[in-house]
Chain A
Amino acid sequence: MSLDIPTIAFYLIAIVLVGSALAVVLLRNIVHSALFLAVMFGAAAGAYVLLNAEFIAIVQVLIYAGAVTILVLFAIMLTRNAQSQSSNPFAKQWWLALIICVLLGFGLVYAVGNSAMAVASAFAPVHLATLGADSGTVTRLGQLLYSPFVYSYVLPFEIASVVLLVAIIGAIVIGRED
């Protein structure tokens, strides 16, 4: 195993990622959990950078580390009972959840590690070949949205705004006071 800089960076990020994820689940104060969630989002963004997925990394920082964390903290602030010491208690069946999570996690890691993946190597799909493998991810994403080659994601992209419209209406219906 050669210890070049990306490898060292990966292990550092991996330790922070796993550690903060465990902290989110295990800490008893829910505000601490929420703060570690922000750390976890940031570390995940670092992992994306190592995977050459710069756009996803930026979005991860903007939306998850930024907006989602703030949203979670606001939700805690508006609903928390200040007297409660243990605001993030364990469920009664935590051991069952642990078993299922470990099984699922190992199953998925095994599946990903032991399969020929079409995306990575063996047979690059047509659109990647035609677009050129050396183009950056942002360019590639933009082209996939309006790609005239194989298929274009413009319709799901537009319908995502319908989903957002529904979410906004829902927030108003639930939250507005008469």
Chain B
Amino acid sequence: MLNTPFTYMPTGADWLRILPELIVFGAALLVLLADLFIPNGRKGWLAMVCLLGVIAALIGVGYLLSNGDSQTAFYGMISDDTLALFSDLLILFAVGIGLLYSPGYIERHAVTRIGEYYGLMLLAALGMMLMASATNLMLIFVGLEALSLSLYILCAIELTRFRSQEAGMKYFILSSFASAILLYGMAMLYGSTGTTSLSGVQAFFAPGRHPFLATSGYGPLLLAAMGLLGVGFCFKVSAIPFQAWTPDVYVGAPTSVTAFMSVGTKVAAFVALSRVFLLALGAQSDKWEPVFWIVAILTMLGGNLMAVVQRDVKRLLAYSSIANAGYMLVAIATNTQHAFSGLLIFLATYTVMNVGAFGIVLALERNDGQGTTLDDFAGLAKRRPGVAAAMAIILFALAGVPPSAGFVGKYYVFQAAIVGNHIDLAVIGILTSVLGMYYYLRVIWAMYFTEPRNVSGGAGAIAATTGMAGEDEGEPEPADAASGASVAPVRAGTATLARPVTSRRSANSRTVVATQAPAESAAPPLTLGTTVALTLAVVLTVALGLIPGPIVMLAEQAARLLGQ
């Protein structure tokens, strides 16, 4: 046996089953190459190349949905089952919207590595797609690493903005620690079952397979494995008590990246988590269900309570994404096929709403990352009625008001929880959703029923903008920006110290002029890409609420994997 030469070759069918991933990878390489030939000032073409790649990959997903064979490829490593294709669809949608936002964002902010930015966006999407399609622990981990490494860099890609650097560093340190814990759990699972394949793990626990284990139990090693895996995954989906990184990273990262990563990572991590726990470790559910029960309750309560006190809308959305992770964990703790399809529907609706919400933030924030507090949203409906209307629709959807996408997602999750004998989780979920309505509707109230407040907060923020604009010419930071209303880069702060007082005074007089200008002058107009992306997100938010039929059918088909 040992001396027989191996004749294993991946067949054409193997390659076909990973067609979307291949297309995305090809597009990423193409972008990195094209970056060398496209001169500065025309880098917008790179976004076009990326978008074409994403559209081609979507076509690939569509082809596999209609003609795929739902088999594993490369000897049980990866699958093109409906679950994988469903998550591919969501991830590609999220990265497509993120790419549409990007040119406008890059133009206004300190992103200088444009080719790398677009390449890493696609590589992050590739990692997410691999993680969601993987049917082997090894591939789950390699996909996770591909997406995490790309996102660390994308978070820190604004080299001169302190918040962006801070976000990248925090995400890198905490997330790589969580990856190590996850890998440790995988090693333990391999130790107790002797296989890294998810179907192998599932078969290991099949009744009657190992009769003596049924009497003596599986020992503490399996518990340790499940514990470590649970911690790793809970960190990746930012469940409480592993959420501490989420607000800082989501706020500090470029908004176009946040829009993409806040949903893409969740889709990939939740699908991988479901494959590992619901599917492979399904026979051991009595051991892990209570843990997820507690984590779900903590996440729903904590996420919503912390969101209530936020004054900054971008930070509020970060906490709202923690709260939404709690609703998704309800479906995991319920652990039925019905709840799993509910989770997928929730993920789909959450994807369209959340990319839209961060898109609005991107449209309103100024060049220094300020301009997204509740005060800045005051009276927005009079100044920019279109943007305000889009935000209102998305916020109503996030709050779960029928008939919107958010209502559909919550309905299916909570209904499955009630049917699955988890009325406690459903009640807590509904109560915390009511709490959630408060902070979502407060933003709508600010936009439609309050007058813009041009007090010190707004003036300070505008002053900070002036300071940023003048930074290149060595201009000092205006004095009242130090009042806490703004976070100017450290470099500007140190430059101020060396300046003579006279020039500071002249900057102050300039600030007064800036304050008298209308507040929205600092927020730039929408670019074409942003407009298209926002329209798409809003239309889909409404459409998923009015006609949820197709996505529900697809999700139920994907969830059938559990029944097998």
Give the distance to chain A from B183, nearest Cβ to Cβ, in Å. Answer: 13
Contact B149 A117 (CB under 8 A): no
The contact string, 1 if C-beta is below 8 Å from chain A, for chain B 217-232, is 0111111100000000
Contact B1 A132 (CB under 8 A): yes
A87–B25 Cα distance when bound, in Å, is 43
Interface size class of B (residues with CB under 8 A): 35 or more
Give the distance to chain A from B188, nearest Cβ to Cβ, in Å. Answer: 7
Given contacts A116-B213, A154-B74, A160-B142, contact A173 B153 (CB under 8 A): yes
Answer yes or no: B335 CB below 8 A from chain A CBs.
no
Give the distance to chain A from B146, nearest Cβ to Cβ, in Å. Answer: 5
User: Which A99-117 residues have a C-beta within 8 angstroms of B?
Assistant: 107-108, 110-112, 114-117
A114, A123, A139, A147: the one contacting B194 at CB < 8 Å is A123
Answer yes or no: B76 CB below 8 A from chain A CBs.
yes
Residue of B nearest to A143 (CB): B6
Contact B1 A163 (CB under 8 A): no
The contact string, 1 if C-beta is below 8 Å from chain A, for chain B 6-24, is 1110100000000000000
Residues of A within 8 A of B490 (CB): none
A155–B143 Cα distance when bound, in Å, is 11
Contact B74 A152 (CB under 8 A): yes
Residues of B within 8 A of A117 (CB): 191-192, 194, 221
Contact A148 B8 (CB under 8 A): yes
Answer yes or no: A178 CB below 8 A from chain B CBs.
yes
A147–B76 Cα distance when bound, in Å, is 12
The contact string, 1 if C-beta is below 8 Å from chain A, for chain B 200-240, is 10001000001001001011111110000000000000000
Give the distance to chain B from A127, nearest Cβ to Cβ, in Å. Answer: 9
Contact A166 B120 (CB under 8 A): yes
Main secondary structure of the interface of A (DSSP, over half): helix
Contact B192 A172 (CB under 8 A): no
| Contact stretch, chosen from B111-119, B272-280, B439-447, B531-539 | B111-119
Interface hub of B6, B157, B196, B223 (most chain A Cβ within 10 A): B6
Residues of A within 8 A of B152 (CB): 170
A107–B358 Cα distance when bound, in Å, is 42
Number of interface residues of A (CB under 8 A): 44
Residue of B nearest to A125 (CB): B194
Interface hub of B1, B10, B194 (most chain A Cβ within 10 A): B194
A111, A148, A152, A174: the one contacting B224 at CB < 8 Å is A111
Sample 29 A-B pairs with CB under 8 A, ordered by A number.
A108-B188, A111-B188, A111-B219, A111-B220, A112-B224, A115-B219, A115-B220, A116-B216, A116-B219, A117-B194, A124-B194, A125-B194, A147-B6, A147-B8, A150-B75, A151-B197, A153-B77, A156-B77, A156-B136, A156-B141, A156-B142, A159-B130, A159-B139, A162-B25, A162-B123, A163-B149, A166-B123, A170-B150, A173-B153
Taking Cβ atoms with an 8 Å cutoff, the residues of B that contact A are 1-2, 6-8, 10, 25, 32, 73-78, 112-113, 116, 119-120, 123, 126-127, 130, 136, 138-139, 141-143, 145-146, 149-150, 152-153, 156-157, 159, 188, 190-197, 200, 204, 210, 213, 216, 218-224
Given A117-B194, A118-B204, A173-B120, 18 additional A-B pairs, CB 8 A: A108-B188, A111-B219, A115-B221, A116-B216, A118-B191, A118-B194, A119-B194, A122-B210, A125-B194, A125-B200, A148-B7, A153-B138, A154-B77, A162-B25, A162-B123, A169-B123, A170-B120, A172-B116
